[in-house]
């Protein structure tokens, strides 16, 4: 029973039909074995006929043609096709988690005010440039996560970039209140927990600010970073007047509460994973940073290329047409058996080959 299942599995893995119920009609293919398309005439004695292997062969061939015609027609009607196949190829790319800040400050412009006129909000700039970034990296498997007051998984790792674009399109909607970057990062790391592929893994954090990371969450992140080696990129969309991540404040004021961005940077550096921060103060700087990340993440990756399904309905009908045409040719060459002396002399006229085909 298992062997039958395995054979069936092997047969149906690459091939399929749209309407399996139609395949019941395959039973009709038995009919040509029981009947013929030719007139049947009785003769007085079978001994009259000399044994002719070629005739027998052609006769059998015509039966098979009938079977083939019906089988091909039924398969065509059932919608025979070669399934969508996936082929693994080598390319350059990465498994990438986009971790996007959806806090309401992202809705402001780089000047930290409501965008006016030709100004672009930070989220709109991030959306535009991330969409370009994703479009340039066709082989990446991309997941999307968002964080604000709470972390939100948006999309699991997928190589369908259409839905990734749809998720990126959603980031310039009004955001929520807070920026819980720590738990957001923990969520981003968790995407790689079940990802056993050996591809390069990267987390791209896009945010315009940071917040204190709870000490327990810090420990959790250190654990996660030790378990799953990832490349970490932080694209910091810095508003005008906001403290930068490289500015060392005057002594005595260098606390995580006062400078969360700088301390997040220090924390990420201490994680022990390859990490780069990009501080962008304008859409142009964001574009430059994204180009740089694009350049960095070019390790080989095994990606799956899809070969679309191929319909085999017409080829099936073509086979049926050839089989029926053979039967037709034989039928056209069919001769009636007539009593001797009525229809002229026997066995002259039609060439010998035709006679055999007609059999």
72 vs 318: CA distance, rounded Å? 8
Q: Which of 104, 132, 149, 218 binds another protein (CB under 8 A)?
A: 149
| Site for another protein, residues 275 to 314, rule: CB under 8 A | 313-314
- The bridge status of strand 231-237 relative to strand 201-207 is parallel
By the rule CB under 8 A, 36 interacts with another protein: yes
Q: Which residues pair with 147 in a beta bridge?
A: 101, 151
User: Which residue number, 266 or 337, has a Cβ lying nearer to another protein?
Assistant: 337
By the rule CB under 8 A, 321 interacts with another protein: yes
By the rule CB under 8 A, 334 interacts with another protein: yes
317 vs 74: CA distance, rounded Å? 9
- Kindly state the smallest distance separating residue 75's Cβ from another protein, in Å: 10
Indicate the burial class of 198 (C-beta count within 10 angstroms; 0-12, 13-18, 19 or more). Answer: exposed
| Site for another protein, residues 75 to 104, rule: CB under 8 A | 76-77, 102
Q: Which of 40, 194, 241, 250 binds another protein (CB under 8 A)?
A: 40
- Side-chain-side CA neighbours of residue 82 (13 Å): 10
- Residue reference for tokens 């096709």: 81
By the rule CB under 8 A, 31 interacts with another protein: yes
Q: Which of 215, 250, 347, 351 binds another protein (CB under 8 A)?
A: 347
| Site for another protein, residues 228 to 257, rule: CB under 8 A | none
By the rule CB under 8 A, 338 interacts with another protein: yes
Q: Which of 5, 88, 345, 351 binds another protein (CB under 8 A)?
A: 345
The answer to whether the beta carbons of residues 83 and 11 sit under 8 Å apart is no
| Site for another protein, residues 155 to 214, rule: CB under 8 A | 155-156, 158, 160, 162-167, 169-170, 173, 176-178
By the rule CB under 8 A, 64 interacts with another protein: no
Give exposure, 260-288, as e/b (b: 16+ Cβ within 10 Å): bbbbbbebbeebebebebbbbbebebbbe
User: Under 8 Å CB-to-CB from 214, ≥6 apart: which residues?
Assistant: 182
- Kindly state the smallest distance separating residue 293's Cβ from another protein, in Å: 22
- Residue reference for tokens 């807070």: 178
Q: Which of 5, 117, 252, 344 binds another protein (CB under 8 A)?
A: 344
130 vs 123: CA distance, rounded Å? 10
Segment lying near another protein (by CB under 8 A), choices 228-236, 238-246, 247-255, 331-339 = 331-339
User: Which residue number, 63 or 276, has a Cβ lying nearer to another protein?
Assistant: 63
By the rule CB under 8 A, 32 interacts with another protein: yes
- Kindly state the smallest distance separating residue 82's Cβ from another protein, in Å: 16
Q: Which residues pair with 318 in a beta bridge?
A: none
User: Under 8 Å CB-to-CB from 59, ≥6 apart: which residues?
Assistant: 359
- The bridge status of strand 95-101 relative to strand 151-158 is unpaired
Q: In terms of residues, how long is the chain?
A: 359
Residues in contact with another protein, counted by CB under 8 A, come to a total of 86
By the rule CB under 8 A, 21 interacts with another protein: no
User: Which residue number, 137 or 265, has a Cβ lying nearer to another protein?
Assistant: 137
Q: Which of 7, 24, 28, 226 binds another protein (CB under 8 A)?
A: 28
The answer to whether the beta carbons of residues 133 and 294 sit under 8 Å apart is yes
């Amino acid at each position: 029973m298992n062997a039958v299942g395995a054979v069936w599995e092997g047969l149906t893995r690459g091939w399929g039909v749209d309407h399996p119920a139609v395949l019941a009609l395959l039973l009709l293919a038995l009919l040509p074995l029981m009947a013929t398309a030719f007139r049947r005439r009785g003769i007085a004695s079978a001994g009259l006929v000399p044994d002719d292997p070629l005739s027998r062969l052609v006769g059998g061939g015509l039966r098979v043609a009938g079977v083939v015609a019906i089988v091909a027609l039924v398969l065509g009607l059932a919608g025979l096709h070669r399934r969508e196949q996936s082929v693994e190829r080598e390319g350059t790319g990465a498994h990438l988690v986009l971790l996007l800040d959806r806090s309401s400050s992202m809705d402001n412009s780089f000047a930290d005010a409501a965008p006016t006129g030709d100004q672009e909000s930070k989220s709109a700039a991030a959306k535009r440039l991330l969409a370009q970034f994703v479009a340039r990296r066709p082989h990446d498997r991309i997941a999307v996560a968002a964080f604000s007051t709470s972390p939100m998984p948006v999309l699991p790792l997928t190589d369908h970039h259409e839905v990734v674009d749809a998720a990126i399109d959603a980031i310039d909607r009004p955001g929520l209140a807070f920026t819980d970057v720590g738990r957001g990062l923990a969520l981003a790391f968790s995407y790689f927990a079940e990802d056993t592929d050996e591809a390069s893994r990267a987390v791209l954090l896009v945010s315009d600010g940071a917040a204190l990371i709870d000490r327990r969450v810090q420990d959790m992140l250190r654990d996660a970073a030790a378990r799953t080696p990832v490349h970490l990129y932080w694209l910091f969309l810095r508003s005008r007047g906001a403290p930068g991540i490289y500015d060392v404040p005057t002594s005595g004021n260098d606390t995580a509460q006062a400078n969360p961005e700088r301390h997040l940077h220090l924390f990420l550096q201490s994680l022990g994973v390859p990490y780069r921060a990009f501080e962008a103060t304008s859409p142009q700087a964001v574009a430059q940073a994204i180009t740089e990340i694009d350049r960095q993440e070019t390790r080989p990756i095994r990606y799956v290329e899809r070969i679309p399904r191929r319909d085999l309905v017409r080829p099936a009908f073509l086979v049926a047409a050839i089989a029926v045409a053979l039967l037709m040719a034989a039928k056209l060459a069919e001769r009636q058996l007539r009593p001797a002396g009525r229809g002229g002399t026997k066995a002259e006229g039609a060439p010998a080959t035709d006679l055999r085909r007609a059999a």
